[in-house]
Amino acid sequence: SSQYRQGRPISAGHFSMSWIIWMKALVIGGMLIAASATGRADGRPVHPDAGARVPAVGDQKRSDHRVIVRYASSSVGESVAGAELQKHVVRLQALPNVIRAQPLSQLRMAVVSLDSADAGEQLVEDLQRDASVELAVPDTWVSAFDLLGSSGKGSSSTAELHRALQAVEQALPAQCSAHPACRMRGLVGDCCPTGDGMILSCCSPHSLDLISLQTHHGTYISVGPGGFVSQVAGPPRDQEKFEIFMNRDGTFSFRSHFGKYLTATEEGVVRADSEQAQDWEKFRKLENEDGTISLESFFGKYLAAEHGGPVLANRVNASLWEHFSMQQQAGPGQRLPDDPALPKLWGMHGLGGFDIDAAEGWKVWTGEVGKGITVAVIDTGIDYTHEDLSEQMWVNPLEIPGNGIDDDENGYVDDIHGADFANDDGDPMDDQMHGTHCAGTIAGIGNNDIGVSGVAWRGVRLMALKFLTASGSGRTSDAIRAIDYAVAHGAKIASNSWGGGGSSSALRVAIEHAEAAGMLFTAAAGNEASNNDEVPSFPANYDIANVISVASTTSLGDLSGFSCYGSSTVHVAAPGSGIYSTVPHSKYATLSGTSMATPHVSGLAALVWMYRPQLSMHQVKEIIIGSVRKVPALKGKVITGGLINVKNALEAAWAFEPPHPPAHAPQAIAFEDTDPQIGVYGGIITITAAANESDIEYYRVYMVSGAGFQLEAIGDLIPATGEQELTLELNASFVPSMYARALVAVSGRALGEMPAQLKGIPPHADLVDYGLPVYGPKAASWSGDEDPLEGSVKGSISVDRAKDEASITEYHVYWRMANGTRGPKVGSIPGIGFLEPSCSGPSCALIDTSKTVDGEYVFERGAYGNNEQATIAVSGPGRVEVSVFDTEDYYDTLTVGDVQLTGNLTDYLPRIVELSKGHIDIEWSSDGSVTANGWSFQFKQDGATAELDVDISEILGSGFEVVPAYGVNELTSAAVFVEISDSTTATVSTTLPGDARRLPASESSAGVVDDLASQPDNAIFPPMARAQSKSEVEPWLRHSSRSSEWRILWMEPRATHLSEAATRQGRVRGSFTVSGLGETPLTLTQPAARSALARAVAAQLPSVEDNGVRVVRMVSPSVESVQVEFEIEPESASPTLALDRIEAQLLLLSTGQRAAARFDAALTAGLAASGLAMLTQIDSWHAVVGSPQQLSPKMLASTLVPAGEVQVGGSFRLRRSSQSNFV
């Protein structure tokens, strides 16, 4: 945990349980997955079959410290980043200790990586005073297995869904006479009542569960019309099929094709002639090590099939003759795949009646025919070579495999099946197993006679987005980048089996952005067995309309012992205990967790959406949560009180009214960028209206990605007025998403809007950046004419590159005619991103800088002082040679790229560091204590000069013009001129007057637009899964029985209503633990102490008055410590971002050093001033602040106590949640 690296302790429960559970999971996973310990030569992993993955880059990323910065919007659209973001990022990059600043344009955010925790804390505090910054959030980490739950906003289509489901129910034939099977059994009336009171599935939405019993000899148990039981050869016919029922006592009963139950007498006689399932008709099912079962009768004897003999139930022991293979068979209204592991998929089609009715749904639709759908699995990656997944993998249509080139210019090389954000590359191979397991449940290939079957047999394209490392942990910034990638590349569903820690406004904004793009976001509710209404878990608890929060159930229909729940925050439940699915190396394993439940919902969403592609995302969500099967054990545990149901959902989808967008599209869209800033766009968008506007109410413009999928909207709606040409003037420039490649104009109306896609009907206009270079070449020279013939020249033009080529893609070279005009183009010289050394930071003036006659730069800092900071930015390739170096060891450092120098290195000099191509920072930093004699180094930079060979048979002018260009756009005012003469040498260059110029396409070569990558950060999120032993039910998962004695010292009566401010904005919940109290924890519960504690918290927070912090509970985890839980309500007139800022400040208090020290001091002073004698004697306060939780008004309302009810304190056994500091 970085909390330990930063010197901040975390609670024992938070740390130890995480790693104990994960170590057990990894040990079991290791038993299932045999891998060698080899890797690729470049240190990156290969396919798991070739060896264990060693995420070297990921380890390096863990050592940086990140801050997410969110800026105020200055753009046309609310969610489109403003042009100023680029300038902000440049300023951030120039700050001391900043390793990298990355923009996330569409979210108005930047992620700043710094080299130390202190630097990160200082940056947050500095940015909080910056008026242009809405929010600065420090990075945090959480334990390896926390997970969480959510609520989503209801849709206006709820009533429509109920009508659709009612129509389905009314369409079911009610009379038994309508069903041949019922008539054959002689049943009459509604719902086919039988003698034992059960309801036959032929009249019920829940179909039969049929099995066959194959003996050790290969024969099948068969029942004749008179009830005689025998053995017959296969394949099984109707007489060899039994309807299986699970009784309440856990036993099973078997009903034959003729409607009579299998019974065993005390003497061991076996027949099938009983009308009811009583004691003699009940069998206990035992699982054998060879995968078979044995059936024990009510009298304790085993069912046996003698070789060539009768079927009896008279054996005391279960040997081979008592072993049977239970084979599932498709009943009426069912379709089963031929995958051999189907019997292990109880969640799809089980014997207990608490599956998701997948077999009944597959009778309707499996996804085998249709357009398909992309599902992003945001997790530990996917083994995309797995035998049961490889054909289902998403393939990036714009990337050429294995060529080492970022063909689609999205920032990732060879991202064929997705991307790896934990290691910053295009290979999302799973090095853990969690993501592959989830993928198999979503879309393991069905009916291919291999392995398992996912909820969707075919048609799903699995997009592997890895942000969790092999340890099962990751960062919020990487999760946000994964979501951003998924939206840009057309994923309609994001499956998220991860979570943990407090809330993050940055992650919330990313999910809201996905919701605006029409993406469904399924999220695991968590494995803490806690109430998410009381202790929220994120991201599942975000109150966003595209989120579905998922709890876990067992095969008996109960809530899994580890599963989180919430009657107002968790939407549905799905099977999550003992789930069998794919793992790397084309293997399979059983895991448990809400992580395993969530992919069932993701697969169902995919199946529904492929069945009815016209449905909107909100309609798909309404169908899933509105078509659940009610389960008594889930009442009051999840919003719907039910388990997802494939059959019901598909039937509801068929009856659901989809959106009806206009049939007519605009004819054309045109846009030409007029903003000269690189990467910034501005101008006027022109739309040619549809020829027929009879069904059109408005037009809208969207950005679309290079893959052709909708991103952000630009500007406001444009009403359809009947005018042939409509314009949208961009009053402010905008910075598009890194994935944006074009603008698309669509038509819309109240009933629906046309989808914005490159390959669809709507017209599009490519985004071509009118960027201009900032600098020009410093000089140019001519080598002299080597051609002896008069009238022709041969030689080379040498160009001294601009001091910063960030805005230059190439230099164009033209003839300069005798009359001073421009002549034909001679050629071009590509830019290389050259950067002349430049220093930024407060100590630059103290560094002596010079340049030798050989062109080498010399940097010297002699006897230095305290707290010096400077960054020298250069470009490679090049070489740094350190000739003098003497600093305080460890604390005063010079970092050259990836090499850090510190201490007295006199005996090791000269030290040479080779720099590779690209931007590189050389950073100098000293602390506030010991100093030394300093350092000196020389920097030799390659590539400062470029040459263009010229061999021309006809001289057309007096010399050449060298003009800097960004793509097709030239800055002619920065051009230089070099004069030539036939058979003579000229070395003179001058700057030509002129202006910016856009070249016609015929005169220019293709330009390159540098898209700025990246995203924000806040927390590490781990997966929720545990390997499960065959003989045990989640023995290593936390259950309600795992508890500890926590003494409640004081508790505030719960509120019966919300204040006006809380109703409007919500609240933030937080906690801190005070240690070093000696024997005085009870003293803190006194009113004066509670008030002092609340004031100390309020003093650290923005937009909070003294009475805005309420202590709500105080508990004692140990004799000398007290955990104080509080709620924060911002001032009534505070801005809408107040909660986000309060949340960010609490994160800083939980991770920062100086901020935490100030809080300790405030507590000490406040308690001393309270006048409590015992407290004034304490001189060693230490407070640890927990992760904050931002609560929406809806979440707050769910925790209110009805009038007349009051909670009282006492001593309780409380289970501690390791995903926060709450109990």
CB atoms < 10 A from the CB of 249, how many?
8
Q: Which amino acid is at 704?
A: V
Amino acid, single-letter form, for residue 368: E
Taking the alpha carbons of 81, 115, 921, 404 in that order, is the dihedral positive or negative? negative
Task: Say if residue 909 is exposed, middle or buried (CB neighbours under 10 Å; 0-12, 13-18, 19+).
Answer: middle
**263 pairs with which residues across the strands?**
271
Which residue among 595, 602, 1192, 1220 is the active-site one?
A: 595
- Using alpha carbons only, give the angle 454, 456, 461 rounded to the nearest 5 degrees: 100
Q: What separation, in Å, do the N-terminal and C-terminal C-alpha atoms of the chain show? A: 21
Catalytic residue flag (residue 379): yes
Name the strand (E) or helix (H) holding 749.
Answer: strand 740-749
CA distances (Å), origin 562, targets 565, 595, 763, 773, 1045: 10, 11, 51, 59, 19
Give the Cα separation of 182 and 204 in Å (integer). Answer: 12
Cα atoms in the Cβ-side hemisphere of radius 13 Å centred on 41 = 0
Pair 328, 343: CB distance under 8 Å: yes
CA angle 608, 612, 614 (to 5 degrees): 125
- What length does the chain have? 1223
Helix (H, G, I), strand (E, B) or coil at 1094: helix
Nearest of 421, 527, 420 to residue 22 by alpha carbon: 527
On whether the CB atoms of residues 941 and 915 are closer than 8 A, the answer is: no
Q: How far apart are CA 531 and CA 55, in angstroms?
A: 36
Q: Strand runs (DSSP E) across 89-138, as ranges?
A: 98-104, 109-114, 133-138
Contact 570, 149 (CB under 8 A): yes
User: What are the φ/ψ torsions at residue 775 (nearest 5 degrees)?
Assistant: -120, 165
CA dihedral sign, ordered 853, 856, 862, 865: positive
- Long-range contact list for 1030-1033, CB < 8 A, 24+ apart? 1030/287, 1030/590, 1033/554, 1033/577, 1033/578
Query: CA torsion sign, 793 to 796 to 801 to 807?
Result: positive
Active-site position among 64, 355, 379, 543: 379
Looking at residue 867, the DSSP 8-state letter turns out to be S
What's the CA gap between 102 and 118, in Å, rounded?
A: 20
Residues 767 and 681: beta-carbon distance below 8 Å? yes
How many angstroms separate the CA atoms of 530 and 537, rounded? 10
**Secondary structure (DSSP) of 623-661:** HHHHSPEE-GGGTTTSSS-EE--HHHHHHHHHHS-----
> Using alpha carbons only, how large is the chain's radius of gyration in Å?
35
Minimal CA–CA distance to 462: which of 494, 433, 484? 494
Give 918's strand partners.
876
- What's the maximum distance between 2 C-alpha atoms anywhere in the chain? 121
Phi, psi of 175 (to 5 degrees): -85, 140
Q: Which of 244, 276, 270 is nearest to 257 (CA)?
A: 244
Active site residue 595: yes
Q: Helix, strand, or coil here: 1002?
A: helix
Query: 413-451 as b/e, with b when 16 or more CB fall inside 10 Å?
Result: ebbbbbbbbbbbbbbbbbbbbbbbbbbbbbbbbbbbebb
Look up residue 802 and give its DSSP letter: -
Q: Under DSSP, is residue 121 helix (H, G, I), strand (E, B) or coil?
A: helix
Which is the catalytic residue, given 434, 513, 585, 618?
434
Residues with catalytic annotation?
379, 434, 595
